[in-house]
Amino acid sequence: MRAFTYERPVDLAAALVAIGQPGARFLAGGTNLLDLMKVEAETPQHLVDVSRLPLDQISEENGGLRIGAMVTNTALAGDSHVREHYPVLARAVLNGASAQLRNQATTGGNLLQRTRCYYFYDPSTPCNKRAPGSGCSALQGYNRIHAILGASDACIAVHPSDMAVAMMALDAEVEVEAPHSHRRIKIADFHRLPGNTPQNDTILGAGELITAVILPPPPPGGQVYRKVRDRASYDFALVSVAAVVETDGERIRSARIALGGVAHKPWRALEAERQLAGVPLSDDALAAAGETAVKGAQGHGHNDFKIPLAARTVASALAEAAKQRKA
Amino acid sequence: MTVDVGLTVNGVRHDLKVDSRTTLLDLLREHLGLTGTKKGCDHGQCGACTVLVDGVRKNACMNLAASLDGRGIVTIEGLGTEQALHPMQAAFIEHDGFQCGYCTPGQICSAVGMLSELKRGLPSAVTADLREAAVDMVEAEVRERMSGNICRCAAYPNIVAAILDAGKA
C-alpha cells in the first residue's frame, strides 16, 4: 500500500474543504477503497474519513424515504420501512457481500464502488479504467463477468452493486454536496457508460460528496430482486434483475425492470417496460419483454451466456413480481 | 505518516502510534501480539479475521486502525478463556466444528455477532417474509448469515450444528 496522510474532519463543511488537498479521497466504510489500495489499483495521497459524519439516519420525506449516505447496508436492509415498502431494495442489499461487509459498507460508498474486473484490480495489466490509454485487457482476455450492454472498445467492465440496481428500479435520486453547490442527481444519470473515458464511473465532480439517497414514494405492485451468481451466497451477480410489476390480475398496468451485472451502470430496460404496459399478463409477454431487454446486447466470448441468461432472468423476475399483487 | 490511535481491546485500553496504513488486523497481531485473529486473504473475502467492533462483527483486515480510534474491540482472546469458555467456543468443541482450526477464531467471533443480529430481528437474503420482526434460527439462516466465513476444510456441517446449539442457549 502506498503511503498516505489521514484526517477525520469534525463536520461536513470541514470535510468538503479537506477534500481539496492533492490526491485526496473520501473514506467511508472503506470495504472497497482499502481493498483497492492494498493492490495499488487506487493510490490516494490523503484520506478524508467521513465515516463518523452524522449522515446515518433514515427518515420519511414527502411520502418517500431519505437515506443518509453513511447508513450501513445492514441498517438499510434492516429498516422496518424499507422492509415493508421497498422490499426490492432490502433484498438487493441482503444479496450483496457478506454480513461482516454489510455491517461496515455504506449507502454512499456502495454507489461509488469500483468494478471487480480482474484486470482493473491487477496493475501489471493494461486497463483504461485504472490507467487511461493503456488498453483494455478484458476485450481479448477472460471476460466471463463482463458487460453485454452499453460497453465500448475502451472498457467492458460492469458496475458491481446490487443496491444500485434496486434504486434504479425505484427512481432514486442521489443528493450531492460540494462547498458551494448542492444538487440532486437522478440515479439513472449518476453512473455513466464507459465511452472513451472509462476512468469516470459517475458524473460526480471533483470534491463532491454524496450525503443521501432519496427514494420517491413506493411504486404500486409487487417487487422482486433476482440475483444469479456462481455461489449460493456472497458473490457478485452474473446477472441480476430488479422488477416491479403492477397488475389488475389479468393485465399488466405498469412494469419496471433494472438489470445488474450487464453494463457499466445499473441498466434500466425502458423499452421492455413500455412493451408490457397494458398488455394481458402471460408467459409469452414476459418472455418477449426479456428478449427486448437484451436487444442489441453483445457478448465478448466468455460472457455470451449472459445474453440468454439475462432475458430469462428478466422474464422470471417479472413473473414472480406479478404474482405478488397486493389485494 | 503516523497516527495516534486509542483502542480498547478485550477490555484493555491501548494508546499507540502507528503507520496510517496499519489495519486493525495488523495492529492486533503485530502491535498487540494478539495472534488469535487470523490473516487469511487480507481482502475481506474469507472472514478469518472477523472480530467484534462495538459488538458488531467486521473484517479486521478491511478497517484502518486510524478509523477505529476510540472504539471497543473484542477478539477471540476476549470471548473466553481455557478455564471459562464462551458458550460458542464450547459448542464448537462439542460439535467438532473445525478441522485445521485456522478459520475457527473468525467463525466463532462471526457466530457471536450473528446471534446478536438475529436477536435484533435483522433479516437475511433467505428470510422468507421481510415484514416479520422476528427471524427463526434455522439451518438455512445460519448458512446464509455465515457465508462470509470460509472454511477450506469444509467443516460446515459441524460449524452449523455448533452455532444452532449455542444459539438455543
Q: Cell digits for B102?
A: 485456522
Least Cα distance to B59 among B79, B80, B78, B73 occurs for B73
Q: Which of B43, B133, B147 sits opposite A38 (nearest CB)?
A: B43
Residue B117: enclosing H or E segment and its boundaries?
helix B104-119
User: Position of cell 438499510?
Assistant: A76
CATH 1.10.150.120-classified regions of chain B: 87-168
pLDDT at A327: 41
The SS3 of residue A44 is coil
Are residues A274 and A250 in contact, defined by beta-carbon separation less than 8 angstroms?
Answer: no
pLDDT tens per residue across all 327 residues of chain A: 999 999 999 999 999 999 999 999 999 999 999 999 999 999 999 999 999 999 999 999 999 999 999 999 999 999 999 999 999 999 999 999 999 999 999 999 999 999 999 999 999 999 999 999 999 999 999 999 999 999 999 999 999 999 999 999 999 999 999 999 999 999 999 999 999 999 999 999 999 999 999 999 999 999 999 999 999 999 999 999 999 999 998 999 999 999 999 999 999 999 999 999 999 999 999 999 999 999 999 999 999 999 999 999 999 999 999 999 654
Are residues A34 and A75 in contact, defined by beta-carbon separation less than 8 angstroms?
Answer: no
Q: In CATH, what is the architecture of A1-49? A: 2-Layer Sandwich (3.30)
pLDDT at B154: 97
Residue A62 near chain B (CB below 8 Å)? no
CB–CB contact A83 B59 (8 Å): no
Q: What number of CA atoms fall less than 13 Å from residue A77's CA on the CB side?
A: 32
Task: Categorize the per-residue pLDDT at B133 as very low, low, confident or very high, splitting at 50, 70 and 90.
Answer: confident
Q: Which of A30, A51, A233 sits opposite B125 (nearest CB)?
A: A233
pLDDT at A302: 98
Measured in angstroms, the CA of A32 and the nearest CA of chain B are apart by: 8
CB–CB contact A99 B56 (8 Å): no
Q: Which residue of B has its CA nearest to A33?
A: B62
**Domain A222-323: which CATH number of 3.40.50.970, 3.10.450.50, 3.40.50.1980, 3.30.390.50:** 3.30.390.50
> Where are the domains positioned within chain A?
1-49, 222-323
**In CATH, B87-168 is 1.10.150.120:** yes
Q: Which chain A residues are within 8 Å of B39, Cβ to Cβ? A: none
Q: Which residue of B has its CA nearest to A94?
A: B125
Are residues B130 and A90 in contact, defined by beta-carbon separation less than 8 angstroms?
Answer: yes
Q: Name, in order, each residue with C-beta under 8 angstroms of A180's C-beta and a sequence gap of 6 or more.
A: none
Residue B169 has pLDDT above 90, yes or no: no
- How many CB atoms neighbour CB A146 within 10 A? 29
Measured in angstroms, the CA of A13 and the nearest CA of chain B are apart by: 19
Q: Which chain B residues are within 8 Å of A4, Cβ to Cβ? A: 1, 20-21
pLDDT at A326: 55
Q: In CATH, what is the architecture of B2-79? A: Roll (3.10)
Q: Name, in order, each residue with C-beta under 8 angstroms of A218's C-beta and a sequence gap of 6 or more.
A: A64, A85, A86, A170
CB–CB contact B123 A99 (8 Å): no
Q: What number of CA atoms fall less than 13 Å from residue A319's CA on the CB side?
A: 14
Mind listing the pLDDT tens digit for each residue in B136-148? 999 999 999 999 9
Phi and psi at A191, nearest 5°, equal -90, 155
Are residues A104 and A26 in contact, defined by beta-carbon separation less than 8 angstroms?
Answer: no
Q: Name, in order, each residue with C-beta under 8 angstroms of B77's C-beta and a sequence gap of 6 or more.
A: B10, B34, B36
